[in-house]
Structure 1
């Protein structure tokens, strides 16, 4: 039995689907029962548990050979509580293996915002006496979906990556799920802790994203850096003040360069989905001129 915590998300569903195609049993752990349909359709067992309900999580994880866990981005307090709840449930259930979806930059000890919470996450999981894989993910290509409507309406793509010609690591979320499934199905029996980074086959800049949207829409889109003084306000349109501050610090680190990246001599696996293929479903009225 392979158990996926957060199976309704893009990464979790991709992992679950790949594991089911491989013919293994999968238990999908969800908070919202209304999202169970697609997972039930591919043959997953369904369990309900809130991420901060340690007892419910322990029962949902029980008897699993391997568990994949993901830490949703949120405010500092929420994420710290989720970290402790996940770790507590794993300590009690004692699965044979754990794969944790982590973040580029999680190896950095200084405070750089969101990756620092994943640094704390990894440090807490290191205390577990079971084989572990930390799968550190680059920024998801699908994250641009939040600002695509603005690009469509005004021809301007707002970017927190500055300068807009700077390339950075990114990956399609479903590709991350496929890499996770492969690591679960083919564990490295010789190590108690494996750290793997995951990004796409090439790196892109905000200018590349704008050019890709131009191709999909059939009209010009230009990337434009959002002034730093406006970052917190922009993020708070979607997030709490605490979560927004984590993103401000994250993009400061991104733009500084060299921090939100692969750890020195770190192992890397590469996804295959191109930027245009990742963005195409997010532009439903697209006219692809290619």
Structure 2
């Protein structure tokens, strides 16, 4: 049995789709019982669990040969780092108690760094906690998701601008479709070859992009010229909060982009493997706009 936490997310859905297509038994773990019917219809067993509830998580993981986990995102929390790392601790305790023999953790580029990376420090904490568990571990470190860029498609169509905290505008940075992360995770889960543990795999798209490339891709989708514009560093926090992110989480995002722009967020040099997704940025953005009816 493959137990997939975060089944309703883009990564979890893609992992489940591939595993089912290859005939593997899947337990989809959801927070909302109303989501169960969709996965049951697809052929999954369903468990309902909450990230802060050790008992429900342990029950959801029980009997699974492999468990795939992902970090919580608490963008409106009053103390985002404390609450997210607390949820990670509960998750790790439940995994240890369930005695799952193999764990796939969806992690992040830069997770090996112990300071100065903002949101990514939660993934550092996740990897550190999971290393204490007696299980075969795989850390699938994902580059920034292309879907983050797609959020700006409507704004770009309206204004002709793409505001970015990736700076300078000519700097290449790694990104990947969330769907590709799920597909590659499923491929790794289905592999039977022996490997050193923990196994570290980095995943990014077929190529890297600059903010200028992103603006061009957005322009091709929205049908007008789109110009990339740097958000002044002094405006980052306010801009994030205007977008609906709580101050605590926004400060973590600011620290993350400082690390990005300093060149600290990348595949860990000399460690692990690199796998590439196949989805190009333009296709990821176009697909999301189509699904949103735009």
TM range (shorter): over 0.9
Identify which of 252, 259, 283 aligns with 1:277: 283
Normalising by structure 1, we get a TM-score of: 0.95
1:246 aligns with 2:252: yes
Q: Are the counterparts in 2 of residues 161 and 225 from structure 1 also a CA contact under 8 Å?
A: yes
Structure 2 portions without partners, runs of 5+: 75-79
Alignment pair present for 1:133 and 2:121: no
Runs of 4+ in 1 over 6 A off after TM superposition: none
Cα offsets for 1:210-252 (capped at 9, x unmatched): 1011111221011111111111112223222211111000000
The match for 1:166 is 171
Q: Which residue of 1 aligns with 2:207?
A: 202
Alignment match, 2:191? 186
2:232 equivalent to 1:227: yes
- 1:31 Cα deviation (Å)? 0.6
Q: Distance in 2 between matches of 1:30 and 1:45?
A: 11
SS at match of 1:210: helix
Encode CA deviations 1:111-131: one digit per residue, 9 max, x unaligned.
211111111110011000111
Equivalent-residue separation in structure 2 for 1:45 and 1:234 (angstroms): 42
2:50 aligned residue:
50
Of 36-45 and 16-25, the range deviating more from structure 2: 36-45
Say how many residue pairs are matched: 285
- 1:254, CA displacement in angstroms? 0.6
For residues 262 and 200 of structure 1, the distance between their equivalents in structure 2, rounded to whole angstroms, comes to 13
CA drift at 1:72: 2.4
Quote the Cα distance in structure 2 between the aligned partners of 1:99 and 1:23.
Answer: 19
State the TM-score, normalizing by the size of structure 2. Answer: 0.93
Distance 1:51 1:29, change over 3 A: same
Say which SS state the counterpart of residue 290 (structure 2) adopts: coil
Q: 1:257-284: CA deviations, max 9, x gaps?
A: 1x11010123111000111110102333
Tell whether 2:25 aligns with 1:19: no
Structure 1 unmatched runs, 5+: none
In structure 2, relative to structure 1, the CA distance for the partners of 1:114 and 1:187 (3 Å cut) is: farther
